[in-house]
Copies of this chain bind each other. A is one copy, B any other.
Amino acid sequence: MAAPIDFYFDFSSPYGYLAAQKIDALAAKHGRTVDWHPVLLGVIFKETGMAPLTVIPLKGEYSKIDFARSARFHGVGGFRVPSKFPIASQAPARIVLWLKARDAALATRVAKALLRAYFVDDVDISNPELAAAVAAKEGVEPVAARAAIDDPAAKDALKREVDAALARGVFGSPFVIVDGEPFWGLDRFEQIERWLATGGF
């Protein structure tokens, strides 16, 4: 079986959310699975000197138009820019990495639920209690989920994940690596599709 596709995203990234609605189906169509990697754009931007989209003059205003329009274009219902945006995404990222070491399929389900909570239901998932509550709805034991956020092992796992992402050249969200080939952005999904279908072009 071919290697999984690596999918890097930040829980605070609207394009990451939109991409998360597409990546599993895209991979499955070509007989691939997806390895979900939550990362922290805040840490990555410190390395690259980049700034969050929304604080950049002109680009910031444009991005709000484009988030919503891209959601409509891709048929992703319910999207809205959350009341508190952007957020620090340590809490959801640590829960997901803690779960991933135990049950990768459950970790992916919880990751999707956390993204949906933030971008559809306007839940502030940077809040540890609220993030743990979302995981609990997916069947995770709530006290353990809450504890994972402050667990040194989960903190270390996230730090290692971000360092590994930087080492592979990840500078944004979503970021996909297929057999070593890097693709940045939801708008590269058509190129990913052709790459998967043809083995490169």
Contacts and interface: CB of A to CB of B under 8 A. Distances in A.
B50 A59 contact: yes
A17 interface: no
Nearest to A70: B191
A171 interface: yes
Q: How many copies of this chain?
A: 2
Given A62-B184, A182-B65, A194 B56 contact: no
A48 interface: yes
Contact of A48 (B57, B65, B170): B57
A70 B170 CA distance: 18
Nearest to A48: B57
B58 A171 contact: yes
Interface residues of A, number: 32
B58 A166 contact: yes
A70 B72 CA distance: 24
Interface in A52-66: 56-59, 61-62, 65-66
A77 interface: no
Contacts of A59: 48, 50, 171-172, 184
A170 B51 contact: no
Interface string A74-91: 000000000000000000
Nearest to A51: B49
A8 to B, nearest CB: 12
A29 interface: no
B187 A187 contact: yes
Contacts of A194: 73
A58 B48 contact: yes
Contacts of A51: 49
Given A187-B187, A187-B188, 13 more contacts: A48-B59, A49-B51, A59-B172, A59-B184, A61-B169, A62-B171, A62-B182, A62-B184, A66-B188, A69-B191, A69-B201, A72-B201, A73-B191
